[in-house]
Chains A and B, each alone.
Chain A
């Protein structure tokens, strides 16, 4: 008997179909991965299961949703809460109370469970998720990974049989993401909870998934074994791309499997790129940033070369954003100096207008930059060059579209065009890959490479190691506000296993990207 069943579900928003004739059975104790390009309706599918669609999203829903063979399609999310738990993209936005312990108890209070049961379950859940030492902490002071685990715990205390998660690791650094995923697999294996999970970064989740739901652009879904679906899927992790390039069948889904297969490959490693000393771009000297009593950045000295893309990595709260804002000159700066070549002027000494024509910064929430009703109005306000830049980045965005109706990748491009309108020689990007699918990320990587080739200094902070492998020349790893390692991407990434992309994990250094392997394979063939 299936736990939850979707029968012929179709959803459309204002006549635009998002899901069409979706049939899906979820059995007890399986981990099901929902995948597809951006905007293909992953969140909508999850919303149908939890009941948030169409109640919180608008649109019309046709079809039936059965929970234990009882139709719940007309039941509000609150009436499904005892069986279906939901964790949203931003855990902090969903927190109702102040402290970890109260948050864990909130759902049970709503269900009206007896106090002894609540007490017991809170303690059990604290231990299960390894967050017992956080019980009295203010939720806002937790790190991203801790918040995500508390959000999962807050749902688990209600003992749901189905756990629905929308991109639970998108904002997390690689280690925290692995923690959360390990927690989820433990729930599936030990407690028999069914997990339905939407995720962009397949490389993290595919090895754990029992089944996969692949959403197509036409709103139809394919359901099946990950290995089968990934043969033809438009979005695939680098591992599968590697498998396709090498012609492996069945496709390897975990690094371990791929490594076994790769032993048979005999490839000539890519030639070490001859490193030319780049022209100086930005010189950061002994920069310190202090927030209250915490030192976010401690005496960082960092020469950044022009014509290079530098990736800034490190766990959540390592000081990446603080460093970028301080370099741009708008953020607080306790001590130190920044010199931008060739004039050697410090952006912090300039007014906002001068600053942005010297150093452009794309903030984490790119939407904060946008305030007008159409793309054309935004471009007009941004200056004469904006529209041209936008068409270079992503051609063909209709001018009368509202910026909020654009896809993540298009909105990012618009914000980037606005930042680039002042033609700054230095461009900083704070976590631009959040919410982008593989296609959009590859496009962004190409854009950054092109901007660097034009002679700009590009710095991008990110958690996404695969993106770093594609885009970056150099990597700087921050920890606790200090630089712990820096150098060419190929070396830094090979040195620390946590930051290694999948190709490096499989083939070892100096391999970094699938296209290198593909080129080497071709070279061997000819």
Chain B
């Protein structure tokens, strides 16, 4: 075993790129066989490489959401009468007559195999994308991902971390207040009940935020760097110019009536100024990072396997239309390319090192 594969947590960016690759693959086909393969690949990798931290357990929740999506899709097809244009009738439900002004909508009516399959395929596609996102969440803590932002975006990153931290606590305090309010008599009307719930929860959230802010401040968060006022002005000017440049450039590129000269060059200029601003801001940030996540070959391999899956299936969706969007009348076909393409994602489990065990 090479030292790069000793048990450790893989860089979160690698897992996210891999998952996005898989999600791209899933969104570029409705072939249920390919989609199920992608879901299986994502699940297998999660089970092989997730850590024992609490967020890793969230994967189940995403799978549940995916299943609900599939069921809902099929149900809606049946309810809203997808069986337009004929097909094999599975169940001949009577159509509920709707008034004339509800144009293009039918309630119930004959259920055809084609309409159910269409709902199923569609739901599977969306469900698979959800599972891919869930896999990324289970494999890489979103907070660690935020820690990897460039130094200049440190403030934004920390704000996001605080938001991510406070949100689950809000749910916890809502549960607590609900239980507590049942212990006293009080307003039983609808608005009164809402107030009983909301006021203590908001007070609690405010208290917590203030305490967190105080805690961060006393620990040196946001200490002034070594920059002189002049340097700060230069940084500010660069950032502003960058922002304006990007805005004008994007507008010019999208709007064809604007002279070409304003388009791409302006965009490039804006991006350059923004990058310079970020660099200059990053230089004056007097912070260091404790044990940054290393980036070594397993990270590249994991990323590559995800990108490969996405790329191959995207190619399939453009060149093998019958495979990517199978006919509803017959059993879906799979080509070797599509199958291998979706299985490439499994390499991530092989390449990634085992997660660091959590001591208890």
Contact = CB atoms under 8 A, between A and B. Distances in A.
Interface of A: 50-52, 55-56, 76-82, 84-86, 88, 90, 93-98, 101-102, 105-115, 118-119, 122, 133-138, 140-141, 154-155, 158, 325, 328, 330-331, 352-353, 355-356, 360-363, 365, 367-372, 381-383, 404, 418-419, 421-422
B319 interface: no
Given A112-B287, A137-B359, A370-B200, A52 B218 contact: yes
A76 B289 contact: no
A368 B200 contact: yes
Interface string B174-201: 0011011111111100000001100110
Given A158-B220, A381-B185, A109 B289 contact: yes
20 contacts: A50-B218, A51-B218, A52-B214, A56-B213, A77-B217, A77-B218, A85-B219, A93-B211, A97-B143, A98-B141, A98-B143, A105-B291, A119-B290, A119-B291, A136-B359, A158-B219, A356-B182, A369-B180, A371-B199, A382-B184
Contact of B195 (A56, A79, A330, A371): A371
B259 interface: no
A81 B223 contact: yes
A50 B179 CA distance: 36
B224 interface: yes
A369 B181 contact: yes
A330 B177 CA distance: 12
A80 B182 CA distance: 45
Nearest to B217: A77
B212 interface: yes
B297 interface: no
Interface of B: 53-54, 141, 143, 158, 161-162, 165, 176-177, 179-187, 195-196, 199-200, 203-204, 207-208, 210-224, 286-291, 356-360
Nearest to A362: B183
Given A112-B286, A419-B183, A56 B214 contact: yes
Contact of B186 (A79, A118, A158, A382): A382
Contacts, number: 183
B288 A113 contact: yes
Given A56-B210, A81-B220, A105-B291, 6 more contacts: A50-B218, A81-B218, A95-B215, A96-B221, A113-B288, A356-B185
B290 A118 contact: yes
A323 to B, nearest CB: 15
A137 B358 contact: yes
A79 B288 contact: no
Contacts of B165: 96
A82 B183 contact: no
Given A98-B141, A381-B186, A381-B187, A368 B181 contact: yes
A105 B290 contact: yes
B203 A365 contact: no
